[in-house]
Amino acid sequence: MDILEELYKCDIFHLEEIGDTNPDFCKAVKLLSVAEKELKDRYHDSGELIARYLAAEKELRCIGNTAEFRKGFRAGAQMILEVMKPFGKL
């Protein structure tokens, strides 16, 4: 695991202890939980299939989130490097 992945997954600074207090995020999580329960209740014979689908979707989302984090982090680092370049002649 490289440093960006460790940073993103909070293995370095334990950022998961801070928690997410964004009300839109919390609302979306609640809606997802309700929908998941409804799916499991309605299609109880397909519980294993639903669980596999949700696990695959979560893995895909994590891969995408990691890639987006890397791009954003690198863009920020490039901006810092640009700011640190000496000014040209005025």
Is residue 12 over pLDDT 90? no
Report helix, strand or coil for 29: helix
pLDDT given at position 28 = 87
Q: Is the pLDDT of residue 25 over 90?
A: no
Summarize the confidence of residues 24-51 as an average pLDDT: 88
**Predicted confidence band of residue 19 (pLDDT cuts 50, 70, 90):** low
Cα 3 to Cα 50, 80, 89, distances in angstroms: 34, 18, 37
